[in-house]
Amino acid sequence: MAHRVVVTGLGLVTPVGNDVESTWSALLAGRSGAAPITKFDPQQLSVRFACEVKGFDASRYMDRKEARRFDLFAQFALAAAHQAVAQAGLEGRFPAERTGVIIGSGIGGMQTYEENCSIYLTKGPDRVSPFFVPMYIPNIAAGLVAIRYGLKGPNFCTVSACASSAHAIGEAFRLVQHGKADVMLAGGSEAAITGLTVAGFQNMKALSTRNDSPETASRPFDSDRDGFVLGDGAAAVILESLEHARNRGATILGEVLGYGLSDDAYHMAQPPEGGAGAQQAMRDCLADGGIAPGDVQYINAHGTSTPQGDVAETLAVKAVFGPHARELVFGSTKSMTGHLLGGAGALEFVVSLLVARCGVIPPTINQFTPDPECDLDSAPNRMVERPVRVALSNSFGFGGHNVTLAVGAYRE
């Protein structure tokens, strides 16, 4: 028997807000999270801005000793998990053996890695932290969340570049759907704004270079887009079987409706022309949920602001949705949050759920010069009020990984 899977808790730490309410308000207002880098001195880099998390207070979620032993990506994950658990009302009420955790991360503890590499090279191996390995490994966020709440069900980390946390939510959905767990805490986290990461992305020409105007640098679908803006943050969701949520009287925020996944099998970092893999993921998601193309009113695009990626995704949407592609909104909130890499899919799933729940679609900002090849309605520079029965969230990663998730408001 397949169980319906509902969402009962949400948590966010993002470049535009440190919780769900502040992030959602900022997105609807079209506020950019991009600014000059403050975490380190970026003067030797050609790209000197990013979408950093601002004003994060780890002491709200952990003691000082824990914070010293947890990389920033794990701190973000624990914060988002805490928010989701609190909203779901599950603190101390988890069915421990029937609750699991999947938290994706594309890179893991990059700050810890970079710092300890420097120590090793300048001070020798004896000075490397004994906490280096458990602080750095990407799966530690899922492990720490399980330890925090005593969760003994399925637990692992998905690592598929920018599709990591979309895979995490999709796999958590499957586990609940097929009765392997009653509750899953799923999401993603990234804290990769470091000198080494920025250098790597800038040298492969993936980043925008608009140092003079960071807030307008992320321009999905605009003809003058020149690359993505790196972002940090985390997102977490509580998924439950409908029966479990009803039995405990939970407030249901939305329902996961479908999950599709594929691979391009084409190139390490570029999509194939026409976005064949993206098409397959979207079609599989629709088929998985028994969703007709005309039932979809909103797609949160992967939309990173790269020249090839935005065109390929636009063509993929047109191929899957036909004439209906021009009736839906196909927008990118990365225009405001930047690209959270492994955390992006979970953040954008939460955004898609809020769109379906609230009937309000955030704008795609920084639309100055329309690109004739990206000619679908992205809600350019304006919030759109519209009932949304089904929203899709697309996530694509280096290596050709493609994930589409479908979410909607809960209906009896």
Cα–Cα distance between 231 and 336 in angstroms, integer? 10
| Beta strand residue intervals within 211-328, DSSP E | 233-241, 254-263, 296-300
Q: What is the dihedral of CA 94, 99, 242, 93, to 10 degrees?
A: 0
403 forms beta bridges with 261, 395
Closest by CA to 376, choosing from 308, 292, 319, 291, is 319
- Pairing label, strands 390-397, 401-408: antiparallel
| 162, 167, 244, 374: the active-site residue | 162
Other CB atoms within 10 A of residue 19 CB: 16
- Helix 72-88 to helix 140-149 angle (10° resolution) is 40
**Would you call 302 a catalytic residue per the annotation?**
yes
| 167, 244, 339, 401: the active-site residue | 339
Cα–Cα distance between 34 and 380 in angstroms, integer? 18
| 167, 244, 302, 401: the active-site residue | 302
**Would you call 339 a catalytic residue per the annotation?**
yes
Cα dihedral 269, 272, 276, 279 sign: positive
Q: Which residues contact 86 (CB under 8 A, 6 or more apart)?
A: 9
Residues designated as active site? 162, 302, 339
